[in-house]
Amino acid sequence: MGRPLSAPSALAPFLFLTAFLISVAVSGAAASRAANATLPAILIFGDSIMDTGNNNNLATIIKCNFQPYGVDFNGGPTGRFCDGKIPSDIIAEQLGIKGSVPPYLDPSLQPKDLLTGVTFASGGAGFDPITAKLVAVVSLSQQLQYFEEYIAKVKSIVGEERANFIIGNALYLVVAGSDDIANTYFTLRARSNYDIPGYTDLMSDSASNFVQEIYKLGARKIGVFSAPPIGCVPSQRTAGGGPMRVCADNSNQAAILFNSKLKSKLDSLHQMLPNSRVVYIDVYSPLLQIIQTPTKYGFEISEKGCCGTGAVEVAILCNKFTPPCPNVNAHVFWDSYHPTEKTYRVLVTELLDKYSSDLLG
């Protein structure tokens, strides 16, 4: 018989395993830090899909810093047009940047918050310059001015060299177009002098110009979301879907036409702008799939929102007098215009799987 194992030798396999697990954990943490070293911040422009509270102190009806908004958000209503987190938060979270993205206009914003990114997005804004004016929110041109202001602030905090690194390596996301089509064009008829081909030209030209402007200011990794199937959101079914509340085909066709023009322009910019990653992100197709086959994704209801009747309530119409449904996770939409956090998580996971390598390398 061999000698009995001494205590130290008996523990050797366990010590080896412990050391191995620690090394894996350390290398994983190092890899995470390395990823963040090359993706130091997220900066977002656009509309209510990405607005985490910039409209809170504006004199506009396009706001939601009250119940029942935020019912599933830690801290309650914040100005997010959702029951919980929205894509800006979920993308930052899944990329390991931070758990939520603060609004640039938050009076309590801290200098450290600036260094990892903010959202300039404002609910109700659009690529058409008059879209934001019609509802008194922050236009894309004003968001661009805030971005210039942001750059100056970051330089004052960390110096020009580090600021240039943050600006040059951040992820930029642009999300707009829904309000142009649904509100400015079809609901308010504020561009009645344009036919749909002409109006989608105006939108896509504006989107292209905006991307070029943020590029001039240092943006390189730029993802631009397509318009969604806007005719299938509950409010547009109510407004243009007839007695059966089917998807409003005219709105969807406008979105499809805009998206084709947007993709063409972004593909051209990707080739034209040196060292850029300008990526068209198709939201239309995956969201339409969820709406058309909700049970496949764990939902039950896609034709109406969770707030109130689900047919019209959004922003100030979704309030304490219009209580939410008993099971928000059964719904694709939170209110009559915006998806639930659960829907956003399904979408973001799919989009990051598809587009991360194009955007981030």
Sign of CA dihedral 30, 173, 272, 280: positive
Phi, psi of 241 (to 5 degrees): -100, 10
Whether the ω angle into residue 68 lies within 30 degrees of 0, i.e. cis, is yes
- How far is Cα 227 from Cα 16, in angstroms, rounded to an integer? 54
- How far is Cα 287 from Cα 269, in angstroms, rounded to an integer? 26
- How far is Cα 220 from Cα 89, in angstroms, rounded to an integer? 21
In angstroms, the Cα distances linking 4 to 8, 10, 34, 361 are: 12, 9, 46, 55
- Distance, C-alpha 310 to centroid of its chain: 22
- Which of 326, 332, 324, 325 lies closest to 296, judged by CA? 332
- How far is Cα 186 from Cα 202, in angstroms, rounded to an integer? 15
DSSP characters over 43-104: EEEESTTT-SSTTTTSSSS----STTTTTTSTTS-SS-SSSS--HHHHHHHHTTS-S---BT
Residue whose pair of structure tokens reads 């079914």 in the numeric block: 237
Of 47, 48, 128, 302, the active-site residue reads: 48
**Angle subtended by helix axes 140-158 and 160-169, to nearest 10:** 140
- How far is Cα 171 from Cα 351, in angstroms, rounded to an integer? 14
Does the annotation mark 48 as catalytic?
yes
- Distance, C-alpha 129 to centroid of its chain: 20
Does the annotation mark 331 as catalytic?
no
Tokens of 96: 């390991």
Of 83, 89, 335, 336, the active-site residue reads: 335
- Distance, C-alpha 103 to centroid of its chain: 12
To 5 degrees, how large is the angle CA 84–CA 87–CA 90? Answer: 75
Residues marked as catalytic: 48, 335, 338
